[in-house]
Amino acid sequence: MAKKNTVPKKPTKAPAKKVAAPKPVKKPAAKLAVVKRPKERVLITGAAGFLGSHLCDRFLKEGYHVIGMDNLITGRLKNIEHLFKREDFEFFHHDVSTFVHVPGDLKFILHFASPASPIDYLKIPIQTLKVSSLGTHNLLGLAKAKGARILVASTSEVYGDPKVHPQNEEYWGHVNTVGPRGVYDEAKRFQEAITMAYHTYHGVETRMVRIFNTYGPRMRLNDGRVLPAFIGQALRGEDLTIFGKGNQTRSFCYVDDLIEGIYRLLLSDYAGPVNIGNPAEITIKQFAEEIVKLTGTKQKLVYKPLPQDDPMQRQPDITLAKKLLKWQPKVSRAEGLKITYAYFKSLSAKELHEKDHNSFEGYVRK
- What is the radius of gyration, based on Cα positions, of the chain? 32
- Residue 229 to residue 242: CA distance in whole angstroms: 10
- Residue 366 to residue 280: CA distance in whole angstroms: 43
- Residue 125 to residue 180: CA distance in whole angstroms: 9
DSSP per-residue letters across 269-292? S--SEEEES---EEEHHHHHHHHH
Q: Does residue 224 contact residue 118 with C-beta atoms inside 8 Å?
A: yes
Dmax over CA atoms of the chain, in Å, equals 156
The 3-state DSSP class for residue 252 equals coil
- Residue 94 to residue 72: CA distance in whole angstroms: 8
Tell how strand 273-276 and strand 281-283 pair up.
unpaired
Within 10 angstroms of residue 213's Cβ, the number of other Cβ atoms is 19
Residues with a catalytic annotation lie at 184
Single out the residue of 103, 107, 273, 267 nearest to residue 199, CA to CA.
273
